[in-house]
Structures are given as C-alpha cells and as structure tokens.
Amino acid sequence: MVGSRTRRRYSRAAVRATMRANRSGNTKPDRMMAAALSSLGFAVVRNAEADVVVRALGLAVFVHGCFWHGCPEHWRPPATNRAYWVDKVRKTRRRDKTAREALQSKGWTVIETWEHDVVANAHSVALAAVRKTRE
Ligand SMILES: [Zn+2]
C-alpha cells in the first residue's frame, strides 16, 4: 500500500528524486555503493562484471533501480502502456536472474540490492555484502 511504510528513514521524495536522476551505467546509487565499499578499504571497480565489483573478495554487486527493475516497494506500472511496462520489467528481472546465476556459477558472491536501500544506508548494505563473502 502506498504511503504505509513510515518506518523508512528516507523520504519518498528523496527516493523519487534519485530515481529520476538515474542514468544507466553511472547512477548515483552505484556511486554511493562504490564509495561505501571503498571506505571499507577495498579496491572497487565499477561497471564490470556487475555495477560494483570488489575483485579481491569475488564480490559482484548489482544496484537495481527501483523503476527499471520493478522494486516491490516503489514500482507501479505507468498508467499509459501498462502492459508494455509490466512486460519490460519482467524481462529485466529475467536478465537479472541470468546474470546473477552466470556469475554465481563462476564462484562470485552476488549481491542484488535496491537503489532505495543504498540511498537509505549504503554503508550497511556494503557491510552486509562483505559479510556475505565470508559465509
Ligand atoms: Zn525501491
């Protein structure tokens, strides 16, 4: 239900502004994620095997845009061309799954995170990602 998640610390306006500002390949959440991992002392590569990569850890992070990847909290199909957008997001998610599985089969630890989580707290997403490589 729209507007029911008041426990979130970021504002919907902030999330929408970030989503609007995003451009493929060089998005603000990508940069935030890279900066957070970098601040933990890791050498970070962007736009390689995934949006953000730490080769030393075999860590591949995908920061999924809430709009393009169909975030369950923020995505609503536009009223115009609804079927087109539903199908487009479904295909994007299928590609996400294929990419994830391909990397996992090569031994990468793959983290998929939503841009809204990165915008809210990139540091904690980075910590969780690093922890996951040590499981
Ligand atoms: Zn979202």
CB of 22 within 8 A of CB of 28? yes
- Whether residue 131 has pLDDT greater than 60: yes
Output DSSP code: residue 45: E
Cβ atoms 15, 65 nearer than 8 A: no
Distance 134 CA to ligand 1 centre (A): 27
- Which residues are within 8 A (CB) of 96 and not within 5 positions of it... i.e. 6 or more apart? 62, 64, 69, 112
- pLDDT (mean) for 35-46: 97
CA–centroid distance, 58 to ligand 1, in Å, is 26
Tell me how far the alpha carbon of residue 10 lies from the centroid of ligand 1, in angstroms: 11
pLDDT digits (tens, 9 = 90+) for 68-105: 999 999 999 999 999 999 999 999 999 999 999 999 99
Convert the pLDDT of each residue in 24-35 to its tens digit: 445 699 999 999
What's the CATH superfamily of 24-133?
VSR Endonuclease (3.40.960.10)
Q: Which residue has the higher pLDDT, 116 or 20?
A: 116
Token representation of residue 132:
């996951």
